[in-house]
Chains A and B, each alone.
Chain A
Amino acid sequence: GESVGLHLPTLSVQEGDNSIINCAYSNSASDYFIWYKQESGKGPQFIIDIRSNMDKRQGQRVTVLLNKTVKHLSLQIAATQPGDSAVYFCAELLSGYGQNFVFGPGTRLSVLP
């Protein structure tokens, strides 16, 4: 897979490769983060979450890494499949403002056959 920063909103990977999607969050006080997947014509769908007292969390084929030092979040997708093609958003929870999530701009993942 290929790592991209926020300034590159599109990521293309070969089917079967690993994907890494990055996100820089804005508030060092954020203590909860979620990755969402949004397919065309649908609402965002929860993928995985992580709290600020953790630096890694694994799910089924997905791993989220949190680096609080540089305020960076990444989503790793193992063995990327065509069904993974979508736009991926990270969202941070700003606890000081109640339970309101702030969403990043998103990255489009395209899986090539």
Chain B
Amino acid sequence: EAGVVQSPRYKIIEKKQPVAFWCNPISGHNTLYWYRQNLGQGPELLIRYENEEAVDDSQLPKDRFSAERLKGVDSTLKIQPAELGDSAVYLCASSSGQGLGDNEQFFGPGTRLTVL
């Protein structure tokens, strides 16, 4: 079974440019997460989806970040415009989310964003 798929794996852009990341979760997983991981730190949650609904986006900088999960499967995370401080690894994870014991999150390999 395929794991969580993310693309692109690497992205280099100049500041003020837009950028988008794509995530395909594990088949059947209703819960999808986007995290940002700065160098040398643990992942920080940006947004959590239950099916197509964003149930927690309190940590998403809404002035420049947006996300969508149409049809409750794939998801995209967008930054417009990007700033230097946005350089990080953006991780997508999914879980079945059926209960406390099923909260194991499966992570994708991440997209490493470098803003110049």
Contacts and interface: CB of A to CB of B under 8 A. Distances in A.
A49 B95 CA distance: 15
Nearest to A42: B109
Interface of A: 9, 31-32, 34, 41-46, 49, 51, 89, 91, 93, 97-106
Interface of B: 4, 31, 40-45, 48, 55-56, 91, 93, 95, 97, 100-101, 103-110
B45 A44 contact: no
Contacts of B95: 99
A23 to B, nearest CB: 10
Contacts of B100: 31-32, 51, 93
Contact of B109 (A32, A41, A98, A103): A41
Given A41-B109, A43-B108, A100 B91 contact: no
A45 B45 contact: no
Contacts of A91: 42
Contacts of B104: 34, 46, 49
B48 A99 contact: yes
